[in-house]
């Protein structure tokens, strides 16, 4: 796996190279420096039965951060990072990822951090000098390196499982090259109520008729009547909206213009800022408004790419009011063949998928792990 040149393996390798050295030095490498002022000599960490004493933990902390954390927030951040790294190692061991002596030797010889800087090649004498400088024997080094190499192997298998298919790559490259802008019209429920105030007003006689026809039991005359008044008013509003929806949807079925439909809606109009497929849509201007009511609808998803510019959409009946839209700019590439663009997209997709899997795996492990951090004061 360490010979693989894929994006994921590179990321995992670079990340873990530094981590391997830190763990190695932490566990065996430096003379016992003791504990610095402010470091808790009684602090103990236990992760799924694996114990870490304060000297081990704080040595590792100093190696990673260069010094003690400057504040409680940094200290907690380091602790959480430490727990995550240990859980990854434990996961690799649980999956049975192991290395033979020969394979381990081959990996060590190919690692750039163990080569002699003056020759660029693995040098047993230089390697032994590194071990001596860190107060470490070869068996001690191999024990720690074997465990951490298993973590790197786990990253490789996860990355390989997130390989990007040709269809995924082409579609994502297509999407990244799109540029779309829509014009929209919006009629809010509040404006509709004011415009048709007489039509949505509910009289006492109508409330009495509703109570009588449905045999409604009244326990509190004031609150119950107001509840019924609101229900009847909502029904009247829905009827008004449905009448408008029917008229505009009829226009949309015959590919009528957006301006014709917008005149019937008689609401506010605006344009979105340009966006790519799948991006969040906002109105243009200094104070953009989220247009999620449009982009989150099935009408938008189904119609956007197939409808012509300046042709009205059917009505989107949202909780806040009625929307219609039309594309005014729609740049859709016929195909994407540029290899640089495809490689960039492949890397983005692979890294995103890899990070998602790692994040979810860590969340599952954290939920199922027994982690104890204790201190005797």
Q: Where are the domains of the chain?
A: 7-164+343-374, 178-331
Place of tokens 């720690």: 144
Distance CA 226, CA 220 (A): 10
Higher pLDDT, 1 or 328: 328
pLDDT (0 to 100) of residue 95:
74
Share of the chain above pLDDT 70, in %: 68
Token digits for 286?
């200094």
Does residue 178 surpass a pLDDT of 50? yes
Region 355-368 average pLDDT: 73
pLDDT confidence tier of residue 134, bands split at 50, 70 and 90: low
Is pTM, for the whole model, over 0.85? no
How does DSSP classify residue 30?
S
Higher pLDDT, 336 or 100: 100
Of residues 325 and 134, more confidence is placed in 325
Of 92-96, 126-130, 297-301, the least confident? 92-96
**Triad 121, 160, 337: Cα angle to 5°:** 95
Q: Which two tokens stand for residue 39?
A: 């470091």
Residue 187: band (very low, low, confident or very high) from pLDDT cuts 50, 70, 90: very high
102: exposed, middle or buried (C-beta count within 10 Å: 0-12, 13-18, 19+)? Answer: exposed
Q: Which residue has the tokens 């492990």?
A: 365
Q: What is the mean pLDDT of residues 216-225?
A: 72
| pLDDT at residue number 124 | 86
pLDDT over 90, % of the chain: 17
CATH second-level architecture of 7-164+343-374? Orthogonal Bundle (1.10)
Backbone angles phi, psi at 307, to 5 degrees: -85, 150
Give 52's contacts (C-beta < 8 A, 6+ positions apart): 44, 45, 46, 86
Closest CA to 251 of 185, 166, 172, 197: 185
Is the predicted pLDDT of residue 175 greater than 70, yes or no? no
* Residue 183 pLDDT level (bands cut at 50, 70, 90): very high
Neighbour tally for 96: CB within 10 Å = 7
């Amino acid at each position: 796996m360490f010979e693989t040149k894929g994006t994921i393996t590179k990321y995992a390798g670079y990340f873990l190279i530094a981590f391997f050295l830190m763990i190695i030095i932490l566990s065996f490498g430096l003379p016992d420096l003791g504990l610095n002022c402010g470091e808790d000599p009684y602090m103990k960490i236990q992760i799924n039965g694996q114990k870490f004493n304060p000297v081990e933990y704080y040595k590792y902390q100093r190696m990673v951060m260069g010094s003690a954390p400057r504040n409680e927030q940094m200290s907690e951040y380091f602790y959480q990072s430490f727990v995550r790294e240990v859980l990854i190692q434990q996961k690799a061991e649980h999956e049975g990822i192991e290395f033979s002596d020969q394979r381990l030797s081959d990996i060590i010889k190919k690692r750039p951090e163990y080569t002699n800087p003056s020759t660029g090649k693995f040098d047993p004498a230089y390697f032994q000098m590194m071990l001596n400088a860190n107060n470490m024997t070869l068996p001690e080094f191999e024990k720690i390196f074997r465990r951490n190499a298993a973590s790197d192997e786990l990253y490789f298998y996860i990355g390989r499982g997130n390989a990007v298919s040709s269809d995924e790559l082409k579609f994502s490259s297509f999407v990244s090259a799109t540029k779309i802008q829509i014009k929209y019209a919006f009629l809010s429920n509040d404006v509709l109520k004011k415009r048709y105030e007489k039509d949505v007003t509910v009289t006492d006689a109508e409330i009495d008729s509703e109570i009588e026809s449905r045999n409604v039991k009244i326990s509190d005359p004031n609150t119950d009547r107001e509840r019924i008044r609101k229900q009847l008013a909502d029904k009247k509003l829905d009827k008004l909206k449905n009448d408008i929806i029917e008229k505009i949807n009829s226009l949309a079925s015959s590919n009528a213009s957006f301006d014709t439909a917008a005149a019937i809606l008689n609401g506010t109009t605006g344009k979105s800022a340009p966006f790519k497929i799948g991006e969040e849509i906002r109105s243009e201007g200094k104070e953009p408004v989220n247009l999620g009511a449009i982009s989150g609808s099935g009408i938008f998803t189904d119609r956007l790419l197939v409808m012509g510019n300046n042709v009205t959409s059917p009505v989107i009946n949202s909780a806040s009011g009625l929307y219609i839209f039309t594309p005014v700019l729609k740049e859709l590439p016929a195909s994407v063949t540029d290899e640089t663009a495809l490689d960039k997209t492949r890397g983005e997709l692979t890294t995103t998928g890899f990070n998602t899997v790692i994040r979810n795996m860590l969340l599952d492990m954290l939920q199922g792990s027994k982690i104890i951090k204790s201190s005797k004061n």
